[in-house]
Structure 1
Amino acid sequence: MKAALALLLIAACTGDPVGEDTGSTCPPSDPPTYASFGQPFMQTYCLACHSQSKLGDDRNGAPVTIDFDTRSLIRENTSRIDKQAAFGPTSKNRLMPDDDHQPQPSDAERVRLGEYIACEIGR
């Protein structure tokens, strides 16, 4: 309880919502790849705001430095993505995409996102 309260206070002070690490692992069979999952997921749910081609108000408040247009940009932000949008055994994060964004990923897609992130960082 104290840890959750501390995270809320940190998020309130920084203005950047923070969830918890999902504890996801890369599945040994049929692991999600950038081509099979990462790129289509980002195109569907993230690039409307988190794209290098978006400027100013078109970013809908997304920080200018947080973009997911390429695998390397995703890899730079794996922890942030995991803590804000993925599901796993230890946490279910629904901070992104925000409630106003449509479509929203399904719970199964959020689980797969956690697995994809785990595969990308090698855990």
Structure 2
Amino acid sequence: MSRLIGCMAALACLTLVPGCDDDDDDDGGNDDTVECPTGGTQLTEQNFGRAFLDTYCTRCHSSTRTGAARNGAPVGFDWDLIASVRAHAEEMNEEAGANADGSVNTEMPLNDPRPSDAERRQLSEWLVCGAP
């Protein structure tokens, strides 16, 4: 009986009380977030980002495209403009980047050509470093 009560209390904690689980990070971080690496060669707009965006993204996400030519890309999500990339980096990563566990997000782009998993991981790294 006490085992059942313990299980019920644990279930209530996980479902009803925010922050009550045992998996909380001490720093409050999100386990799904890729972190900006230190050291090594940093990815930049010049050595990675621009080519990636031009190859996979700007056929829809471009300030020069309007209406149906955007293929559903929201206005203002223009990856030909680095300021827009930086402002929407989190959304970009959720659609086309990667997670800390190494899995990738494959919602975008909607059609070929599509980036490899390795390229998606590089995209995440570039975005979390601020898209320099």
TM-score of Structure 1 vs Structure 2, range by shorter chain: 0.7 to 0.9
Residue 111 of structure 1: how far off its partner (Å):
0.5
Provide closer, same or farther for how the CA distance between residues 64 and 21 of structure 1 changes in structure 2, counting only shifts above 3 A: farther
Is structure 2 residue 90 aligned with structure 1 residue 79? yes
Q: Could you state the TM-score of these two structures normalised by the residue count of structure 1?
A: 0.74
Measure the CA separation in 2 of the matches of 1:105 and 1:71.
Answer: 19
Q: 1:66 aligns with which of 70, 77, 81?
A: 77
Measure the CA separation in 1 of the matches of 2:90 and 2:97.
Answer: 10
Residue 54 of structure 1: how far off its partner (Å):
0.4
> RCO greater where, 1 or 2, for CA within 8 Å and sep 6 or more?
1
- Kindly tell me the number of residue pairs found equivalent between the two proteins: 101
Residue 27 of structure 1: how far off its partner (Å):
2.4
Q: Could you tell me which amino acid in structure 2 is paired with residue 36 of structure 1?
A: N
The sequence identity of aligned pairs, in percent, is 38
Moved more, 47-56 or 25-34: 25-34
Measure the CA separation in 1 of the matches of 2:85 and 2:113.
Answer: 20
Q: Could you tell me which amino acid in structure 1 is paired with residue 104 of structure 2?
A: K
Q: Could you state the TM-score of these two structures normalised by the residue count of structure 2?
A: 0.70
Moved more, 87-96 or 36-45: 87-96
1:40 match: 51
How do 1:1-123 and structure 2 match up within 5 A? Answer: 22-28=32-38, 29-90=40-101, 91-98=103-110, 101-120=111-130
RMSD (CA atoms): 2.1
Measure the CA separation in 2 of the matches of 1:36 and 1:27.
Answer: 16
Provide closer, same or farther for how the CA distance between residues 21 and 106 of structure 1 changes in structure 2, counting only shifts above 3 A: farther
Measure the CA separation in 1 of the matches of 2:31 and 2:97.
Answer: 9
Residue 92 of structure 1: how far off its partner (Å):
2.2
Is the CA contact (8 Å cut-off) linking 2:31 and 2:100 kept in structure 1? no
Q: For the pair shown, which has the larger CA radius of gyration, 1 or 2?
A: 2
Is the CA contact (8 Å cut-off) linking 2:85 and 2:131 kept in structure 1? no
